[in-house]
Amino acid sequence: MLDKIKIKDFKCFEDIEIELGNITLFSGTNSSGKSSAIQAILLIDNITKNPNSPLNSSLLNLGSFEETRNYITRSDTFSVEAYSKNDEYNFIFFKDDGKNVSFKTSKELKDEIFYLSANRLGPRNTYEKNFNSEDIVGPRGEYVIDLLNRNKTFNVQNDRIYDNSSYTLEYQVNFWLNKIVNVSLEIEDLGISNLVAVSYTHKNSTKRVRPYHIGAGTSYVIGIIILALYLNKDSILIIENPEIHLHPKAQSDLADFLCFIAKSGIQIIIESHSDHIFNGIRKSIHRKTISKDQAKIQFFKTTEMNLSQNHLIGLSEDGKILDYKEGLFDQFDNDLDILLDF
C-alpha cells in the first residue's frame, strides 16, 4: 500500500505531494490534475512491466518527453516518488536527444496495480476469453468477465465476506450486484469460439436477459465488483468514474462497498465527479465502515499559472467536512441558492 506520492515537473504539476489512504478520492474541476496524478502512478507501474517503453503502453499514451514534462518549468527531468511504510521508490525520467526518454529508479514497485479506465467496455453480448496471464483486466476491462468465468469457485478472503452464505467469487459477486443494482448474473462458456456470454436476472424474477436489455450501469460496475473481491491483499485498484450510468443510490452503495473492500487491505484510488461517491465515502466513515484516517479526499485546483495544486480535505470522525474548499461538490447548493433566490 502506498502512503503518498510526490510528483515534480510532470505535466500540470510543478512540485506536489499527494497523501493516499486505504481509499482515496481524487476530485476537482476538469483539467485540474486528477487524471495526471493517476497517470503518474501508472507510469511507475509501467516501468516494471514495460521498461522499453516507459511512457507508452496499452494503458498509457503519454507520447514523448516533451509532451510529458511540465511546459512551464521545462525541466530536463521529471520525477515521481512513491512511499509506503517500509519502502521508498524514486523514478526519474530524463530528456534523451529530444525524442526519447531514459530513466533511473531506486527499486521496482512491489505493489500490483490494476486499472479500470473511464473508457471501459459497456454492454456486450459476448466477452473475449483471456490468454494473457500477465494482464487479467485488459486495457478496457474486457477480460474481467472471463476472470469470473475461470474463478467461479475461488474463495474470497474472509475479511471481504459480507454475507457468509457462500465464500465463492460467483456468489459474492452476485450478492453485491443484487445489493447495488438489483440483478444477478450467469456466465455461459461458449466453448471453441473462445468467448463467454453473460445473462442477467432482475431481483425477484426468473427471466434471463442479455446485457443489452439490463442497462449500461450494470455492465460498467461488474468489473469493479469482480476485481475488488478477487485481487490479492495489498493490490492497488485504480478506478476512473466508478459512477458511470449508475443511479445516485447505486453510486452511494458502490462507495460503501469500496470502503468495505479498502478496509480489508486492497488500496482503492478513485477519480470521480460524483457527489454521491463523495458523500457515500463520508457516509461510510459515519457508519464506521472505514475510519477517517483510512479515507483521503484529495481536491485538485488549477492556479492562475495553470499549475495544479491539491488539498487534502479534512473529515471528522462522523464524516463531516472540516475544511471546505470552494468547488468541492457544491454545485447542488449553488443551484439551490439560485432557485430559492438567495
Question: What pLDDT is recorded for position 69?
Answer: 93
Residues 194, 128 contacting (CB under 8 angstroms): yes
First to last CA, the chain: 46
- Average pLDDT per consecutive 10 residues, the chain (342 residues; last block may be shorter): 96 97 96 96 91 90 92 93 92 78 86 94 92 89 96 97 96 97 95 92 90 91 97 96 96 98 97 96 97 98 93 96 91 84 76
Residues in a beta bridge with 313: 297
Core vs surface per residue 256-275: b (16+ CB within 10 A) or e: bbbbbbbbbbbbbbbbbebb
Core vs surface per residue 68-93: b (16+ CB within 10 A) or e: bbbeeeeeebbbbbbbbeeeebebeb
| Closest-CA residue to 276 (of 331, 232, 222) | 331
pTM for the complete prediction? 0.95
Cell numbers at residue 231, please? 485481487
Question: What pLDDT is recorded for position 214?
Answer: 87
Alpha helical stretches, state H, the chain: 34-49, 65-68, 144-150, 169-181, 216-230, 248-263, 275-286, 331-339
Tell me the C-alpha distance between 266 and 22, whole Å.
7
Question: What pLDDT is recorded for position 132?
Answer: 85
- Find where cell 529508479 sits: 105
Question: What pLDDT is recorded for position 98?
Answer: 58
Tell me the C-alpha distance between 329 and 297, whole Å.
12
- Give the pairing type, strands 4-10 and 126-128: unpaired
Residues sharing a CB contact under 8 Å with residue 151, sequence separation 6 or more, in sequence order: 169, 230
Residues in a beta bridge with 324: none
Q: Which amino acid is at 113?
A: I
Task: Write out the DSSP string of 173-202.
Answer: HHHHHHHHHSEEEEEEE-GGG-EEEEEEEE
- Give the pairing type, strands 4-10 and 13-19: antiparallel
Alpha helical stretches, state H, 54-168: 65-68, 144-150
